[in-house]
């Protein structure tokens, strides 16, 4: 068969913590668990008109003709795996690929393999090119996750997490909704930040609002040595201001009657009033402690 160029969605999915399974369950039971997960991933891939390219130990590589089919399959995999008591990590990319017999090579393969390694247990991580292909409810459930230099590139690209859990679960409050959909109500949304003597008011149309050490890029400049150049962003989703951490050292956030939480490449919807501490707990932040109120 002659190799042909195609535009495909490429998925890598593997069992999270499989090494620990062998230690905890022993070789026989752990292998049964991993084999069961491989069967789930294979069956679901085929059910959504995908093709399994290969299996590598506890990992499946699959291809789909559309980004939507790949995302639908990934969600189904996560749900079936959770029911079976197994945690999966899934990464998906979309783009040019070389289809040679049943194997696939090229940029989309490399990107999918990269974001699969970024994903943690029970997560689905997507490249920007794949998210650009999505519409409707699936697109609305894609949340900004991180900015990374994808393998082979020097520039940082935005990657996303597909929120696949049911709407009743905790992170549903931060599902993406376009600002245009709530434009008529935005005048009543304001976030007030105080850093030392500096007092700021942020409106939804001013987001994403960048906090960090870079004096050029950051809207709120924090000169602490524990701050990353692009440390965290405030974004606006579904009528809520959400803090999204992109940093090396993490961000500590407190709210009303809420113990201080540590975020690292995670997000937290802000409510009421509280503090944002860059790279260290609030009690040690000193002059770099940020107060917020809504």
Compute φ and ψ for 285, nearest 5 degrees: -75, -25
What is the pLDDT at residue 257? 79
Residues 77 and 145 in one domain: yes
Residues 99 and 127 in one domain: yes
- Number of domains present in the structure of the chain: 2
What is the pLDDT at residue 170? 39
Report field, pTM of the whole predicted structure over 0.75: no
Residues 144 and 228 in one domain: no
Residues 104 and 190 in one domain: no
Residues 136 and 186 in one domain: no
Last residue of a domain, one of 174, 207, 239: 174
What is the pLDDT at residue 64? 97
What is the pLDDT at residue 177? 40
Last residue of a domain, one of 125, 157, 174: 174
Residues 110 and 141 in one domain: yes
Low-confidence ranges of the chain (pLDDT < 50): 167-186
Range of the domain at 235: 179-293
Residues 202 and 270 in one domain: yes
Sheet order of strands, 191-195 included: 198-202, 191-195, 290-293, 273-278, 251-255, 258-263
Structure tokens at 98: 């070389």
Residues 148 and 119 in one domain: yes
Residues 148 and 15 in one domain: yes
Residues 99 and 167 in one domain: yes
What is the pLDDT at residue 44? 96
What is the pLDDT at residue 291? 97
What is the pLDDT at residue 179? 40
Residues 23 and 162 in one domain: yes
């Amino acid at each position: 068969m002659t190799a042909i160029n195609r535009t495909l969605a490429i998925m890598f999915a593997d069992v999270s913590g499989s090494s620990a399974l062998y230690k905890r369950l022993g070789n026989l039971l752990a292998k049964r668990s991993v084999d069961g997960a491989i069967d789930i991933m294979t069956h679901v891939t085929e059910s959504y008109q995908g093709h399994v390219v290969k299996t590598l130990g506890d990992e499946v590589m699959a291809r789909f003709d559309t980004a939507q089919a790949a995302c639908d399959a990934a969600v189904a995999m996560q749900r079936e795996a959770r029911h079976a008591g197994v945690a999966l990590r899934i990464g998906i990319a979309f783009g040019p690929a070389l289809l040679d017999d049943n194997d696939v090579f090229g940029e989309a393969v490399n990107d999918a393999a990269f974001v699969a390694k970024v994903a943690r247990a029970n997560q689905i991580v997507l490249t920007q090119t794949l998210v650009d292909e999505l519409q409707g409810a699936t697109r609305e459930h894609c949340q900004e996750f991180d900015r990374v230099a994808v393998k082979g590139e020097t520039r940082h690209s935005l990657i996303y997490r597909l929120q696949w859990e049911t709407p009743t679960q905790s992170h549903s409050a931060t599902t993406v909704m376009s600002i245009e959909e709530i434009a008529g109500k935005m005048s009543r949304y304001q976030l007030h930040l105080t850093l030392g003597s500096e007092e700021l008011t942020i409106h939804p149309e001013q987001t994403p609002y960048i906090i960090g050490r870079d004096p050029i890029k950051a809207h709120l400049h924090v000169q602490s040595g524990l701050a990353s150049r692009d440390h965290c962003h405030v974004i606006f989703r579904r009528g809520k201001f959400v803090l999204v951490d992109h940093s090396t050292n993490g961000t500590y956030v407190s709210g009303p009657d809420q113990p201080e939480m540590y975020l690292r490449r995670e997000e937290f919807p802000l409510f009421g009033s509280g503090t944002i501490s860059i790279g260290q707990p609030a009690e040690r932040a000193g002059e770099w402690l940020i107060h917020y109120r809504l």
